[in-house]
Amino acid sequence: MKKNQKYRKQKKNKALTTAILGGVFVLFGFVLLAALQKPSDASASNEISNSVVPVKVDFPAPALELENVSGAAESLEDFRGQVVLVNNWATWCPPCKAEMPSLQKYYAAHQAEGFTLVAINAGDGKPEVDKFVSDYGLTFNVWLDPDGAALNAFRNGNLPNSYVLDRTGTVRYAWTGEISYEMLEKYVTPIVHENN
């Protein structure tokens, strides 16, 4: 009988120890998960935005001429001598919408330094583009591209996509995806300040 009680007591103690250890492991798991989800100070600003890092490239800007929202023909060649960010976008594209305030803010901050922005709409009708420009308060150049000429010229059908042209018309950076203001400052501003 004593042997049986001793066995039950050992079994009960083993079950209690297992339950306590299990609880400790679960608690440790929650602490670890919380620590992994908390961004470090260095990467906090990058994780807040969905911005992608650009790819460094080196090729001449394509010859591209389209009509702007005012009905006038413009070409990339017209902006030679300025640093140009070409942005291909559409009104229905969520990351395109998300990056527009950053693009507008950057343009307003740097246009006096010889920076310009050409936002090329990929396929939307003029009424939709006009409404978008008004709703977002865009003051930079907006071109209409009903046939995808810009997407073909840059050989990139993903939206949004952006290209940084230096003052000589050489494409220096390429982005596919949403751009944050911080990324523009980091990569475009040094080009704006070159030979300025």
Verify that 57 and 98 share a domain, yes or no. Answer: yes
196 band by pLDDT with thresholds 50, 70 and 90: low
Verify that 71 and 126 share a domain, yes or no. Answer: yes
Verify that 2 and 83 share a domain, yes or no. Answer: no
Please give the model's pTM, rounded to 2 decimal places. Answer: 0.73
Verify that 54 and 6 share a domain, yes or no. Answer: no
Structure tokens at 189: 């501003």
Verify that 70 and 157 share a domain, yes or no. Answer: yes
Verify that 71 and 161 share a domain, yes or no. Answer: yes
Verify that 74 and 20 share a domain, yes or no. Answer: no
Verify that 96 and 10 share a domain, yes or no. Answer: no
Verify that 30 and 59 share a domain, yes or no. Answer: no
Please measure the distance between the N-terminal and C-terminal CA atoms of the chain and give it in whole angstroms. 96
C-alpha closest to that of 123 among 86, 148, 155, 101: 148
Verify that 84 and 30 share a domain, yes or no. Answer: no
**Is 44 contained in some domain?**
no
Range of the domain at 116: 49-193
Q: Are 136 and 98 within 8 A, CB to CB?
A: no
pLDDT in tens, 143-155: 999 999 999 999 9
pLDDT greater than 60 at residue 22: no
Give the chain's domain count: 2
Structure tokens at 89: 């976008």
pLDDT in tens, 45-95: 443 456 688 899 999 999 999 999 999 999 999 999 999 999 999 999 999
C-alpha closest to that of 50 among 158, 181, 172, 154: 181
pLDDT greater than 80 at residue 158: yes
The pLDDT value given to residue 48: 40
At 64 the three-state DSSP class reads: coil
**Is 67 contained in some domain?**
yes
Whole-number Å distance between alpha carbons of 73 and 77: 12
Query: Taking all residues of the chain, what is their mean pLDDT, rounded to a whole number?
Result: 83
**Is 43 contained in some domain?**
no
CATH number of the domain at 122, please.
3.40.30.10
